[in-house]
Amino acid sequence: MTGYHGKDMEQPQTFDDIGPITSDQADIHTGLRDLVRKHVLTRWRKPTPTHTAAAVDAGLQWLAARNRPIIIDSFCGTGMSTAVLAERFPEHSIIGLDQSLARLQKHQAQEADNYLLLRAECEPFWRALVDAGITIEQHYLLFPNPWPKARHLKRRIHGHPGFPLLAELGGTLELRSNWEIYVREFAIAATFIDRPGRVYSYQPTAPMTLFERKYHERAQGLWCFQSTPPEHRGSG
């Protein structure tokens, strides 16, 4: 099930250019911790783009009509992963978000009625959910653009001022990437919002995205970060 809003805005990463990550950054960015601390201490207030506001309205109406546990699939690309999640969790409402209309239009629609694809910028959409008092059960961030150049730290999810919203949304959090440094950075940043988790390498048995399938076929390393919300952690 799909819903499209606004004009297309492509991200630099393309499916035809998915070789191993090359970067001028050899390890964790030296400015990561200071940047995340700054964002934790401030509230991100950038106005919501018009097309994302329209997607928010559509998403909130859809969720209200269903009243089921919520899964968010951010940066969903063609929506393949969203459809996989819809099949895996038939009693949930799954929303897939991506800022590219061109990618969403490549989605091969499924018969499942428990998912919705929306063209939106993820961070302001997250903020809208938080402002509406909505919490989620699971959140997937599968192979977002890695922005591998060191000067682009602020463009990575964990370098964005809206990063702390992930904690406010709640739910189990899972990030996957073919760049180990990216996942390790995300894990460090997550500790600043009380979302510690584990980082590990893995081999997919059933790839959830086209990128994941290609990376696996080309024998590239794959990395995952997983975190559970505080209320689900063991007492240790």
d(CA 4, CA 7): 9
Domain assignment present for residue 150? The answer is: yes
* pLDDT tens, residue by residue, 15-65: 445 677 889 999 999 999 999 999 999 999 999 999 999 999 999 999 999
Q: How far is CA 98 from CA 18, 76, 85, 93, 182, in A?
A: 18, 5, 16, 17, 20
Number of domains in the chain: 1
Quick one: pLDDT at residue 17?
55
Domain assignment present for residue 14? The answer is: no
Domain assignment present for residue 12? The answer is: no
Structural domain that includes position 206: 2-6+27-231
In sequence order, what are the residues at sequence separation of 6 or more whose Cβ sits closer than 8 angstroms to the Cβ of residue 178?
18, 20, 21, 143, 146, 211, 215, 220, 221, 222, 223
* pLDDT tens, residue by residue, 89-106: 999 999 999 999 999 999
Domain assignment present for residue 18? The answer is: no
Three-class secondary structure of residue 186 per DSSP: helix
Domain assignment present for residue 207? The answer is: yes
Three-class secondary structure of residue 53 per DSSP: helix
Structure token pair of residue 9 = 């805005």
User: Could you tell me if residue 55 is left (phi over 0), alpha (psi between -120 and 50 degrees) or otherwise beta?
Assistant: alpha
Query: What's the pTM?
Result: 0.90
**Closest CA relative to residue 86, chosen from 96, 77, 75:** 96
Helix (H) or strand (E) holding 81: helix 80-88
CATH of the domain at 118: 3.40.50.150
Quick one: pLDDT at residue 43?
92
Q: Burial of 201 by CB count in 10 Å (0-12 exposed, 13-18 middle, 19+ buried)?
A: exposed
Show the low-confidence residues of the chain (pLDDT under 50): 1-16, 236
Structure token pair of residue 27 = 């390890």
Whether the CB-CB separation of 180 and 25 falls below 8 Å is answered with no
Domain assignment present for residue 156? The answer is: yes
Domain assignment present for residue 15? The answer is: no
- Max Cα–Cα distance, the chain, nearest Å: 49
Is the C-alpha dihedral spanning 201, 206, 212, 216 positive or negative?
positive
Quick one: pLDDT at residue 87?
96
Quick one: pLDDT at residue 21?
84
Domain assignment present for residue 195? The answer is: yes
Amino acid present at 67: N
